[in-house]
Structures are given as structure tokens and as C-alpha cells.
Amino acid sequence: MIQPNDLIVFCGAGGFIGGHLVAEYRKRGYTNLRAVDIKPFEEWHQLFPDVDNLQLDLSCRENCFNALEGAVWVYNHAADMGGMGFIETHKALCMLSVLINTHLLLAAKHHKVQRFFFASSACVYAADKQTTTDVIPLKESDAYPAMPEDGYGWEKLFSERMCRHFRDDFNLDTRIVRYHNVYGPHGTWDGGREKAPAAICRKVAEAKLLNTNEIEIWGDGQQTRSFQYIDDCLQGTIAIMESNIVDPINLGTSEIVTINQLVDVAEDIAQVKLKRRYNLKAPQGVRGRNSDNTLIRRQLNWEPCIPLRYGMEKTYAWVSEQILQGIPSLTY
């Protein structure tokens, strides 16, 4: 097991999950942490002065070798990605993230890293299993025969296989987690890369603050999803990293809702009722997606369980605060 003074490297640490993961290890008493991201420090979601923070482009081989020097464990959350509005319109950029994982794996092999974590996605799952709103929960074997999300999903699935073969051929101990829609405070909430929970919180908060009484919803609102709060994601991520689970595994809640129901929750939190304008031409993704948690329950005797309402309350409060900070003239 990792020791408190062993070097852990977090790639993509300026992003949402990566930043929270660094924060969690600090809380747990780990003192030798290195955080790496391509973004300027002022754009990181969370930045800690007692961490070795590096601004590096990890698509470059030399940077990966420098970033992983001395590492015992490595978390790879680095990728060019966002919500459906981004990944459906930036497929080449999403696929170029394969350079990051390729060079990090080579660096991990070179530096004899003890354990390597790859953040995959539910977007690897076959599209023909996600065509209806009453989707059957996706189990890990449903990734094959391969028909993932075009662009982003293909890169994730390919990188999963690369991790597997680095384990088989080079004895690099890898962990692969398929995240299902993670959300919470300190995430992207505007600008085009945000995901549905943050986007809905922003739209409802802005409608309330500006008194417009209307929001736009992408699609017809009947699409179904499960949304995992960040605290569950962190607990599951670290538990899987510490476990002996080497094959890809789902990490997501099984609490499925429609997008309309997600809006209902946000409206109830904000204590408003808004007119809904449906944009059927906007990016919508698959029709339905949910996580089958049979494997994680069997392996860890645990699964993500934080209710959507609780997580959305925390997220809505944080997003509202960001909006108010950006619009000084607004008051409640």
C-alpha cells in the first residue's frame, strides 16, 4: 500500500475530479503530492500551496517523463473533454488525448511506477444499448462489441486496452474506472464544457436572479441518466485504486432520472417554477444510460449512494455563488 510520504502524481489536477482528489489525499495526511495540468495556475479549479504544482502539456512525451519522476502511484485524469456540448463538436481534440495516456504509460513503465490509474468513461459503452429512455443498466461487458461514443468514447476504450496490455506485457499494475456523470462544486459550470447538473443549476440560478422565468433544455427532457456526486466518486476512486481490481469497473450511482426530473430538483431547491423551452437541435448524447453496480458491490461491498437531491443542493449553492461573484450588481 502507498505510504504517507510516497510520491503520488495527479495528472489533470487542475480539473474537477483531479482537484478534488488532491484535496482528499491532503485531508488523509499524505504529504508528498505532485499536481500536473496544462492550464495556467489561475485557471485550476483547486490549487494548494503545499503541493508540488506543475504546469505541463502532458501530450508531450518529455513532459510526462519529467512529471512522473519518482512517482509511486499515478492518477491520470488528464484529458481534453467536457459535457455533451463539447464532445459532440470536438471529436478530434477528444481523440488527441490518447497522446496523454500513451506517454504517461511509457513514463510509468520507465520510472517503475507501482500503480497507474486511468480515468475512463461510460461513453465507452455500445451506443445500440442506449437507444431508449428505459435503458437496462450497463454492465462492464457491454463495452463489447465496440460501438462507443464517436471520438471521446473511442479514445477512452482504446486507452483502456493500452492499460491492459501494459499490465500484461510490462507488469505495470493498472486500474481502470468507468465514471458515470460526476458532478459537484468546484467543477466547470459555464463556457461550453459543463455537464448537465452544473448547466441546469446555472440556468435555474440565472433565471431566478435575472427574473427571466424561462430556461432552455437540450432535447425533449426525457433523456435518462444517473448522476454521481463528487464525494462518492472520490471514495470509490481511492477504494478501487487500493483494491486488487484490475479490469474496467463502473463507478456511478444507479439512481436514474430524466433531464426533466433533474430540472425539477433544481427548481425545488431554488424555490422557483420556470417555463421550459426545449431545443431539439442541441447535442443530446444517447437516449438513456445507467450504471449496473453488480460488480462494484461484489468487489467492494459498496456502491455510490449519495442522493441526487443532496448533491444538487451543494452544487446549486456553489454555482449560485459563482454567478453572484461574476455579476456584482445582482442581489437576492
The catalytic residue positions are 152
Instruction: Provide the grid cell at 186.
Output: 468546484
Report how far residue 126's alpha carbon sits from residue 133's, in angstroms, rounded to the nearest whole number: 15
Report how far residue 22's alpha carbon sits from residue 9's, in angstroms, rounded to the nearest whole number: 9
HEC assignment per residue over 182-195: EECCCCCCCCCCCC
Residues, the chain: 332
User: Which segments within 72-229 are labelled E, that is strand?
Assistant: 73-76, 115-121, 174-179, 182-183, 214-218, 224-226, 228-229
AA identity, residue 46? Q
AA identity, residue 14? G
Q: Which of 205, 225, 330 has the alpha carbon at shortest distance from 284?
A: 225
Instruction: Provide the grid cell at 223.
Output: 433523456
- Summary count for the chain: helices (H), strands (E): 11, 13
User: Which segments within 214-282 are labelled E, that is strand?
Assistant: 214-218, 224-226, 228-229, 249-251, 256-258, 275-279
CB atoms within 10 A of CB 134: 9
Note the helical H segments in 2-127.
Answer: 16-27, 61-67, 84-87, 91-95, 98-110
AA identity, residue 112? K
Largest CA distance in the chain: 60
3-state DSSP percent of the chain in helix, strand and coil, to 5: 40, 15, 40
Which position has the grid cell 464532445? 87
